[in-house]
Amino acid sequence: MTEQIETSRDGELIKINIIMREKFDTYNLLRNVEDMEKEQRRSYVISVLKEFASLSQRGILEDLNMLQLTDQVSDVNALWIINVINCYATPTAIYKLAERADIELIDHDFYQIILDPSENKEAYFEEGNVNNREITWNVNKVNAPQVWALGYDGEGVIVALIDTGVNYNHNDLKDHVWVHPDFPPYHGYNFANNNNNPMDDNGHGTHCAGTVAGDGSSGSQTGVAPAATIMCLKVLDSSGGGQQSSIWSATEFAVEHGAHVLSLSLGWLHAWGLIVNSSVKPLTMSLLPESFHQLLQEMKVSNRDFIPYRITLELQVIALPPLGFIPIKL
């Protein structure tokens, strides 16, 4: 952050994350929702976290609103999912905010290439190509057909695919994409470009969506849950890069719009360690499908040379190659 400020011009706006000092009482929330049904639990957790963030952020938001009047701050986005405020601010405004005792840290929300370009090229497959690199061995490797035989094929499960977007017109996926009256005519949201069209212009997200729910219409059945519904959430651009705040915004969207599973095949490095841990576990608890009572997450080490670092927090999350979803007991 200091380096970014020192190299910025006077009055230049820098995109920042303001990490609040106050942390939510995770375990108290878990005790409160223990006997609730799934959707009641979701509604309660969202309401409680929003209220907590609103109270925690109130004073800072008042300051930010005043700074907007003098063009020192813009595009304020208060994130309840993790009790962080994202905005653009001048160096002068950043120094002023840093004096507040209720702020843990101010971090640069910088653009970062997340996906290996060579891997992205390999991951892309064209619509209708029956000889593409996707093959069914991975589906059999995780014993998916045996699970389908027990009646679990993903029916009724919404998977939020948080990645480079999804080619929702692909033959293998077009019958399995999420539809919502507030977001026509597409099937999610594009947080990388702030519009409602999450079309994949990279290929990685479509590859991951195929691993979830590809039904074989183009020649090879690749999906471990072929009856699941894909909520298409684009957070990375055509180069495989983006900003961390987009992932938080996509997570909020997924939770509020009924996602049962979050799929993220990416990782992130930043400077602020484990201080932001207030909302993750109660959030995931609110998303657990009743029939499984477990969280399914997919992470892929090969995107970077490190295991995705902060999302693990209090969960037992396994980093794995793209063989499908592995149930993780909480």
Long-range CB pairs of 38-47 (<8 Å, 24+ gap) are 38/286, 38/288, 38/289, 38/290, 41/285, 41/286, 42/255, 42/258, 42/286, 42/287, 44/286, 45/282, 45/283, 45/285, 45/286, 46/80, 46/255, 46/256, 46/286
- Cα separation, 211 vs 176, in Å, equals 13
Q: What's residue 131's pLDDT?
A: 52
pTM of the model: 0.80
User: Could you tell me if 60 and 17 are in contact, meaning their C-beta atoms sit under 8 angstroms apart?
Assistant: no
Check whether 276 has a pLDDT greater than 50. no
Whole-number Cα distances in Å, 210 to 99, 173, 217, 231:
48, 7, 11, 13
More confident residue, 170 or 122: 170
Check whether 285 has a pLDDT greater than 70. no
Mean per-residue pLDDT for 70-93? 97
Mean per-residue pLDDT for 215-227? 88
Spell out the domains of the chain, with CATH numbers in brackets. Answer: 2-110 (no CATH), 113-328 (3.40.50.200)
